[in-house]
Amino acid sequence: MPEFVPILIAAVLCLIVLLMAFGGGLVSPEQRVRLRSSRTIFLGQDFTITYSAGEKTVASLGGEVSRGVFSGIGDKTIDFQVPDIADVSEGMIKLKIWNTNHYGNLIISINGKEIYRGFPNIGEKIISFGGNILEPSNTLEIKAETSGWKFWAPTTYIFDLNVFVNYLGRKTKSFTFDISENEFINTNRARLLIFGAREGRGNINARLNGIEIYSGLTTVYTDFSVDALKVGNNTLDLSTEPNTTYNISSAQIVLFFG
């Protein structure tokens, strides 16, 4: 046997002993990364979560409009705002006619688009229109059509009206964040923190990757199951209940490693 063979065998044995004593085997580069004791994920600050379901009054107008060949009272307009425009399903005008001579049409337009032309009778009338003609800032115009050949008297309408919008319902605020494989493997506890003020009586609801992790009131300081987490992209959805608004100053998730 060559003289170097016993030396080589001894060196290999020494290497095996050292590996067993200081690590128990080979580890991947990812597993060698030493984690801190925790990681705080800042999701957002100074935002609002609201549930504006049902009907909301956005404008009111009343008075008289008239138009004739030689006389008349001018058109009436009103500017109005529609909050959360993306959640509006439709609009509606509740029109009440107090008096009219029906000499010409009554015409109502929003943002330059005509939504009604006709001869409304004395009493109440509902006029519906699509929410797609509304914008965050709007202008409603109501006017009377000329009385035409009845030149001795203008078309006259005395009225009151209210503009309503219908909302689709719950509005969700979503946040995304990433978790590495190393963080996922080593996370043994997770905590949700939400600080803010409430208007109304409803709960704030939190769903992580589709799993409910909290339903209650603020301030939120609660641990949740790490089973709701996953490697890669994670999504936290926050929502609330009817007639409730949360003004959130800060939202965080804390991962604890061990």
Q: What is the C-alpha to C-alpha distance for residues 258 and 39, in angstroms, rounded to an integer?
A: 12
pLDDT digits (tens, 9 = 90+) for 112-152: 999 999 999 999 999 999 889 999 999 999 999 987 666 66
> What 3-state DSSP class applies to 93?
strand
pLDDT the model gives residue 152: 66
CA 170 – CA 94 distance, rounded (Å): 25
pLDDT per position as a tens digit, 15-47 = 554 444 444 443 344 443 556 899 999 999 999
The one-letter amino acid code at 44 reads G
Omega prior to 240 cis, within 30 of 0: no
Neighbour-count burial of 14, counting CB atoms closer than 10 A to its CB (0-12 exposed, 13-18 middle, 19+ buried): exposed
pLDDT digits (tens, 9 = 90+) for 52-72: 667 889 999 999 999 876 665
Q: How far apart are CA 156 and CA 115, in angstroms?
A: 19
27 class by beta-carbon count within 10 Å (0-12 exposed, 13-18 middle, 19+ buried): exposed
Lookup: tokens for 158: 């005395």
Domain 54-167 -> CATH class = mainly beta
Structure tokens at 145: 């059509």
pTM of structure? 0.52
Lowest mean pLDDT among 32-41, 149-158, 178-187, 243-252: 32-41
Task: State CA 125 to chain mean position distance.
Answer: 33
134 burial type by CB count under 10 A (0-12 exposed, 13-18 middle, 19+ buried):
buried
Q: Do domains 30-51+170-257 and 54-167 have the same CATH topology?
A: yes
* Alpha-carbon span 250 to 198, nearest angstrom: 13
The helix/strand/coil state of 35 is coil
- Record the tokens describing residue 208, joined without a space: 């992580």
Task: Assign 3-state DSSP to the chain and report helix, strand, coil percentages, each to 5.
Answer: 15, 55, 30
Could you tell me if 156 and 66 are in contact, meaning their C-beta atoms sit under 8 angstroms apart? yes
Runs of H (alpha helix) within 122-180: none
Q: Where are the domains of the chain?
A: 30-51+170-257, 54-167
Stretch 99-108: mean pLDDT: 93
**H helix or E strand, kind and range, residue 97:** strand 88-100
Query: CATH for 30-51+170-257, among 2.60.120.1200, 1.10.274.10, 1.10.10.10, 2.40.50.100?
Result: 2.60.120.1200
Give the per-residue pLDDT at 167: 80
